[in-house]
Amino acid sequence: MVVVFEKFAPILPARDIGKAEAFYARLGFHTVYRDGDYLILKRDDAEAHFFRHSGLDPSANDSGAYLRTSDIDALSREFGGLGLPSKGIPRFEPAADKPWGMRELALIDPDGNLIRAGEMI
């Protein structure tokens, strides 16, 4: 029997579940489940989970996730249109070619979670 991975979803910390939900809604995610301590969001086949971590220091957070996309430049334009700053937390770095053969963007959410998205060059 061969095991096939169907989905793989990060579980990321959030100081405030409602604020995380609002931020990711701006990125096109919709809520699948929410209570005071846990949040599940989806956009297309991408899924992200968040757990409440009220003592989280965003500047010391080393959590993150990687998203493969079919059109990194379109996603970069979409996220770039949100008006996020290029420094600090949150922030957005537009898509650029990387030496490891990927074209990637980077987004840091208000809780310091790093979301990289990319596609092969």
Strands 114-120 and 102-108: antiparallel
Query: Tokens standing for 86?
Result: 């290029």
Which helix (H) or strand (E) segment holds residue 108: the answer is strand 102-108
| Domains contained in the chain, CATH given | 11-55+62-120 (3.10.180.10)
Rounded to whole angstroms, what are the CA distances from 116 to 1, 38, 80, 87, 99? 33, 22, 14, 16, 15
Model pTM?
Answer: 0.93
Percent composition of the chain: helix, strand, coil (DSSP 3-state, to 5): 20, 40, 40
Percent of the chain at pLDDT above 90?
93
Q: Is the pLDDT of residue 107 over 80?
A: yes
List pLDDT tens digits, range 34-64. 999 999 999 999 999 999 999 999 999 999 9
CB atoms within 10 A of CB 50: 25
